[in-house]
Homo-oligomer: A and B are copies of this chain.
């Protein structure tokens, strides 16, 4: 399964594409940063971000999009721009009919470092190790986007297996009940 992780930002938006499956190390497909000019009018920046993300989605054809969830605890001055960028990212995925998911920063850190309060350096180290890269991914601020993609592959996989098992259990329970009702 191929996942595009997006670390939303208006000035720098990290994008990381990872191919893999739950429980196995993944492979890095691409890593990029979409930049917009902080001096440009807001609508122009949002359009440039949307164009950039659409081009990357078209190029790498992921099967799912995972976006870091914006928190109100973030720096209040930057939270609005980050929220707008995350909205554009989720819309870009949904527009293509792709499943989307959001993860909190601590869910992402927990997934790749086993520690929800890991720092940026630890995340970069673990992403480099998990994806068996020769050196830390560049641009550096895209390591988080790769971590988000890995988080989705691993957690999403677990979630999907649980959902599947639950559905099977319910189906086997439901069958006699349904026969019962038919009597």
Contacts and interface: CB of A to CB of B under 8 A. Distances in A.
Interface string A80-123: 11011111101101110000101000000000000000000000
Given A47-B95, A79-B83, A87-B88, 10 more contacts: A42-B90, A43-B90, A43-B100, A44-B94, A50-B91, A70-B80, A72-B80, A83-B84, A84-B86, A88-B88
Interface of A: 41-44, 46-47, 50, 70, 72, 76-77, 79-81, 83-88, 90-91, 93-95, 100, 102
9 contacts: A41-B100, A42-B90, A42-B100, A43-B93, A44-B94, A72-B77, A79-B80, A81-B83, A83-B83
Copies of the polypeptide in the assembly: 2
Nearest to A81: B83
Contacts of A81: 83
A61 B77 CA distance: 34
A90 B88 CA distance: 11
